[in-house]
Every structure is written in structure tokens, then in C-alpha cells.
Structure 1
Amino acid sequence: MPFNKFAAAYLSYFAYIDDALDVVQASDFATFLQKIPSGSANGPWSLCWGPAVNDGVLAYVAKGADGSYALAFRGTDVDGSVSAAFENVGADLEAFFMVPFLYPQQPSLPAASQPQISSGLNGALALAIGLTDPATDISLLDYLRSLAKAAPLDLIVTGHSLGGALAVAATAWLQDQLPKAGTVSFTLWPHTFASPTMWNGAFASNFASFTYYAAVNKYDAVPMGWADLATLQTTYQSPGPSLEDTDTLLYVGILALEPVAAKLGYTKIVPSNPDVFAATLQSVPTWTEEAGLMHSMQNVYFQHVNGTAGPDLPGTSTTGVARPRAVAVAA
């Protein structure tokens, strides 16, 4: 079952295991993957590569009960908090803007037609490209190529928040790179939850060729960046919390970013399988609190897909502060 939002919700959520620990435990991932139920979620799943960490970017590969595989990303903002997400990507916008997407390189295209992604996402993708399994010393790309050479590979690529944007970029990267070391057979199935828009129209147009599932809570602020900042400013209408009144500094920052994002041409991908829904607002005092609750993978997106909140995970954080982490290597 390669197209599988139920499994993708588990796998994206489990990317947050141990995110607050200095050492990520591979055994924690293996234990929780085995708990994914059979049936619609294709469990149990088994850990077969990673988890690998590179300067805050974490990924792992798992195998489902039917023999299909998944690549799940956590991303640079470890718990997907809204304030950290906007701080991280806002810095990328201000300092670096858009850069060409190089997979494949297309120098013959006019500049206006070149696929581009944000510099911050490009940096995260570079970290993902450098990921190596700490137990085997095999790179992510080499491992996936070995699977695609041995048998037809169905691969879910998934993530939440900035990990979702990274899943999009990695899907396009893998589509270009997997065939470049011999004969392979593969199909990529991107699934994202609460992904922000971090690419231009040419990239979005190219990505439309994939069968793409994208879950978005219409009250979640993060998917409104960076193509829909005007809507973001009025996310929670009265009597809900006002961004301008309760989080003035963030409001001013978003106002400053809006013309920059518009000029850069951030463009949403039109997914083949959109899943737009409305979570129940919690009526908390501040805009940031409400936005954080609406962005939760555990209590919003996992709940929406699988009908119950995600299980509590070991070693998780709520700070949104990304930092490098080591991975424990099994003896």
C-alpha cells in the first residue's frame, strides 16, 4: 500500500522521538515502529536505516508489513513550534532569499523559469544529502539505491512542518538522483503534514507530476508561510486571539516579510490528494498559543488521520530550539 496517509502520520510523528535528548536512541525508534498497528497503517514497521542526524536534520528509513518502505524527516526545528518555525525560515528569507534547485540542473532555462527553493530549505536538503547511518556508515542515497536495484521500490517520503517541506525537496532530489548509478525501479509517494511553501512556481509546477498527499489544518499558521502571509495575519477572527494585539513583535515581523515573500514568488503546490480540514479552536489567550496548538502533529494532524491523538513519545521537547544531536549506535 504505497499511498498511505495512515502510515505516513505515524512515521512523520515518530520522527520526533528523542528530539530533546543529546543522544537519539535507535532502539526507541525500533520499539515504536513495531507498535504501528496492522491494517490501514501497514504495521508493524521495522527500522532499517538510521536514524541519522546532521546538524539538527534527522531522517530514518523503515519497512512496512507489505514490503514497502518509507523515508521520514524531522527537519531543523525539532518540535515544529510555530514561533521557532517562523524565526528559522524568516532568517533564511531575510538573509539568503531563493536559490536554484539543482536536481536536475537546468542552465538552459531562462532565469524566470528556473525551479527555485528558499536558501534555508536548500541548506536543510544539503544536510539531508549528507546523512549517513551511524551503524553501517552507508549514506541515505546509497541505501535507497541499493533497495531500488534489488527490487521495485515503493517509497513514502514524509514529514511534518519544516520536515514536510524537506520531504518535498528530498522527493524531487531522489527522483533525479536515484537512477544515476545504474538500473533502478522506484516510485516515490510524498506525504506532508503542515508543510510551509518554500519554493517558486516553476518548482511547484514540476512537483505536480507526483501523486502527492498534503494535510493542512486551515487554522494552522505554518502552511500559510510563505505564500499566504496576508491570510496568516487574521487567522483567528474575534473572539479568537489577535496576532497584532497579543504577539506584536511577531506581527511586525510578518508584516515586514510579506512583501519580500511576494517578490520572491513563493507558490503553493497543488497536491493531487489535498486534505484540508478544520481542527477545533482552543480559545487560548494569545495568537502564538493558539497557533502552536493548531500546528501539533500529535494532537491535530495525527488525530485527524488516525482518529486518536498520537501516543506520547520518549524524550520529546516543547521548546522549538533546534540543536545538533548524536545517535546511539547499537553494539
Structure 2
Amino acid sequence: MDFNAILHLVRDDFASVDACIHEQLKSRVPLVSEVGRYIVQSGGKRLRPLVTLLAARACGYRDGNAHVVMAGVIEMLHTATLLHDDVVDESGLRRGRATVNAHWGNSTAVLVGDYLVARAFQMIASLKSQDVFDIMSDSTCVIAEGEVLQLINQHDPDTTEERYLEVIHGKTAKMFEAAAECAAALSNPVHREAMATYARHLGAAFQIIDDVLDYTSSAKVMGKNVGDDLAEGKPTLPLIQAMKIAAPAEANMVREAIRSGGLEHLQEIIQLVQDCGALDYSLARAKAESDAAIAALNTLEESIWRDALVDLAREALARNH
């Protein structure tokens, strides 16, 4: 199945998720609802709630709407992190549209993000599952720590691959992991570990590919500015590997760009990353994560839902935005 076929498989569930989110975005403060709708309706792949829905079905969930509520929780928490990320990164463009902070200002973006977190935990409480509450409370702490770790690594050209992987586990993979593990907890807890492992590796593969695309795609395709990672001084895997294998003068050029966050040599650095083998290395690391995700599904019974999770891990490698 390609990505559209995977989405089609849970189209009815996704319609229910959309209705759930719209209901939860209602607020007595109109600005909260307006901004919430703006960011939630701005497109995006919505991979995390998709993982929740597929994982629940793959684990045997058939009746009720707890999986729909859980998918809504994941999407709202992810949206909150995007609002806060864009303020921290001073981003002006996301998914091809102006960010909330660019449109309404930093204060609005931060406070509406806080509202979405609070609303999401109200939804978690409504599920009356101690397992889900434990998973999500632990996960949100790890995600916040991942963002702080990224801030510490920012403008540090000595960031190692290990530190980079620690960051992406917190800021990206952990939300995927929580999405799948909660789905299993609500469906068949015996599959919690398998689902968590699958989604953790899927999230890592997704983020590595995202970092590769910063040097291979375009602003029109990605919906964000090319070179944003470099402009923010983020030492992502393609840059870390390029500094390892490039000639000393070229490696120093990358180091100085990370340290200063400057784009003076952006085109030269893009060319270097493309030519030196750093992208091939990064793609191989992403494939290893995707393979590990697929291997984790071996304990599940065969089903169209498990097949969709396998294909989703493969699609993570093939995307161009």
C-alpha cells in the first residue's frame, strides 16, 4: 500500500478524529478556537494519529471510540509542540503557510499551545486508563527534555551522532512511541512493547529523512525554507557526517556555519553534503531504523492493519516532504 491507500484504510476513523478535535477546540475565548483551527487544519501528514489508529486495529481494537479519542490527543499534543517549536526557532513558515507566531505573535502561539496541552490531558482523563495516563505523562516529559537537549546542541558543531539520536528520540520518536503504545494499552496490552518499539524506530527514521530533505528538497515541496536547520544552527545527521568525512577546509566551513547560524555558504554546504556521501550515510541509518520498526511487528498476527504498519515504515523512507 502507498500512503494514500493506508489513509483510505482508516478513513472513517479519521473522520471521527477530525470531529473529535473540532469539538475539543471549542472555547469560550474565540481566539483560542481560531488559532487552534488554523494550525490543525493547515495540512500535514498526520502520521502520529495515523499510527494510533492503525496500531489499535492491528492489536485487535474493534468496538468503541477510545482509539479515536487517543488519536485526537496525539494530534493536539503534536500541534502544541509545533506552536512552541516555531516560537523557539523563530520560524515564519510551516506547511507552506505563515506560522502562528508570524501571524498572531509569540504570546498567542505559546498560550494556545498551553491550552492544547491542557485540553489533551482532559481527553486522556476521559479515557479512564491508568496505563494511558502513565504513558502520556512520562512521554510529555521526555518530549520536553528532547527539545531542551536540542537547544543545548544548537550552534555546537561538536555534537556527536549519539547526542543527535538522543535528541530525535525525545523530540520526534517519543510521540510516535506514545501513539502506538497507548493504542496497544487500549486494545491488547500484550502488544505494548512491540508497538512501542515499532513506533520508536519509525519516528527516528522519519526524523532522519526530514533532516535529509533539508538538503535535497525545496521550500515549495517541503512547506518550509530550505536551509532552516543550518540557519538555526542545528547539527543534524547530514552535517555531523559531512564534518567527519569532508576535507578539513570544508569541514571547518560547516563548523563555522553551525556555530554562527549563518547562510553565507548555504549553497556550498548543500553541495558538499550532497557530494561527500553524508546523505547516503544518513539514508542508510534511516533504513536501519525502518527495518527495525518492521521487525518489531513480527509478534503481531497477520492482518491488513499490520501490513499497513509495515508499508508505513517503508513509506517513511520514500517521502519527499
Alignment TM-score, normalising by the size of structure 2:
0.32
Q: Which has the higher contact order (CA 8 A, sep 6+)?
A: 1
Q: Which structure has the highest strand share of the two?
A: 1
Q: Which structure has the highest helix share of the two?
A: 2
